[in-house]
Structure 1
């Protein structure tokens, strides 16, 4: 009949079946769907790791690893002094976890690194004093030859880790020339090394 509805009365037995079967089906479907999603995620992560696919740059708007021209400007840009790089670096170019490990791997007391004002290593400097040299482009600080070797080892690790942590290795260090330079450091024995502090690591 037009405009009328037919109602079917569900018996008590039917109601009990609906009450018990429906939730079981829903729970099983939810569990199955969750399992499929987890397996898909696990498969994707395994694929990325096996192929060494680099993660996308987490800071695509930032070009390279430049921190202005002064400490004040660098700090305003959110840059910090990185003792592994001997440079002021923006967050996307720093591997702070790796640098912290480097700072505990030195040949000084408690694994610290010793820095000096002079070639003969008689006038010690703190890391804060070294960082402040950024405002003196011609200034230099001195370290042991061991510092240079460990620096190279940690940079090779940094170049590997950036594929998975979304960081950017500074262009001046992400070169075959830098690897060749580190090879020479390992082949020879040196008393010490010398460096300046820079803000722009886009260039050698």
Structure 2
């Protein structure tokens, strides 16, 4: 009985040793060593990728913070004055200002983007009226003079006016010399344009958009300044 047990143990031991030797024979030493080395390498790669992501996040956060601070908290002393249009049509003309129909305001020449303004006017081909119910048609040539109190044009003008201001802002951001009028810099007006361009499906709003005289244009109301920076 003891002999059988010893024989079984001996056979088991032999088979175990044979399996280990077979495994060792199938996997050379460099493979088993590679298994030990690969885990630290993976850890190092993970640490490196994590560090890169953290750096990218910090750079993005810093850039956003600086942009937000610059766009909302720029000191007026950091801006270079490029002129203003005073407080009346006579003063605006004396200062060489131009009545920009798309701004619905008098603007100093350095801040007048004639190319952009003319392109939007040409694309929309607005018609102008002396009353909010139509009335007598007023020529664009007369409007460019700015010698009027209030006139009216198509209901879509208001949205085009806001898009025009945003295009001015984007051009200024891309330019090495950031010259921009005071209306385009005004945070309250930017918020106003956001509301104008928001979706509004109310009957009143749709009727205003469809009206040929749904938007007023003021001639004696807005006199802008111009600054660089």
Superposition TM-score, scaled by structure 1 size = 0.56
**Structure 2 matches for 1:19-168, cutoff 5 A?**
60-63=80-83, 66-106=84-124, 112-134=125-147, 139-165=149-175, 166-168=177-179
Q: Distance in 2 between matches of 1:163 and 1:185?
A: 23
Q: Distance in 2 between matches of 1:82 and 1:113?
A: 14
1:33-54 superposed Cα distances (whole Å, 9 cap, x missing partner): xxxxxxxxxxxxxxxxxxx99x
Post-superposition shift, 1:72?
4.5
1:53-109 superposed Cα distances (whole Å, 9 cap, x missing partner): 9xxxxx93435xx21344444333222221111122111211111111111121xxx
- Other-structure match for 2:44: none
Question: Are the aligned partners of 2:92 and 2:223 in contact in 1 as well (CA < 8 Å)?
Answer: no
Q: Distance in 1 between matches of 2:170 and 2:144?
A: 26
Post-superposition shift, 1:133?
4.3
Q: Which has the higher Rg, Structure 1 or Structure 2? A: 2
Q: Distance in 1 between matches of 2:98 and 2:164?
A: 18
- Other-structure match for 2:193: 182
Aligned partner (choices 172, 182, 189) of residue 171 of structure 1:
182
Considering fraction of residues, name the structure with more strand.
2
- After superposition, the Cα gap between the structure-2 partners of 1:194 and 1:69, relative to the gap in structure 1 and judged at 3 Å, is same
Q: Distance in 1 between matches of 2:196 and 2:222?
A: 24
Gaps of 5+ in 1: 1-51, 54-58, 107-111
CA RMSD of aligned residues (A): 2.9
Superposition TM-score, scaled by structure 2 size = 0.51
Q: Distance in 1 between matches of 2:186 and 2:146?
A: 25
Task: Number of aligned residue pairs: give it.
Answer: 138
Gaps of 5+ in 2: 1-66, 71-78
Considering fraction of residues, name the structure with more helix.
2
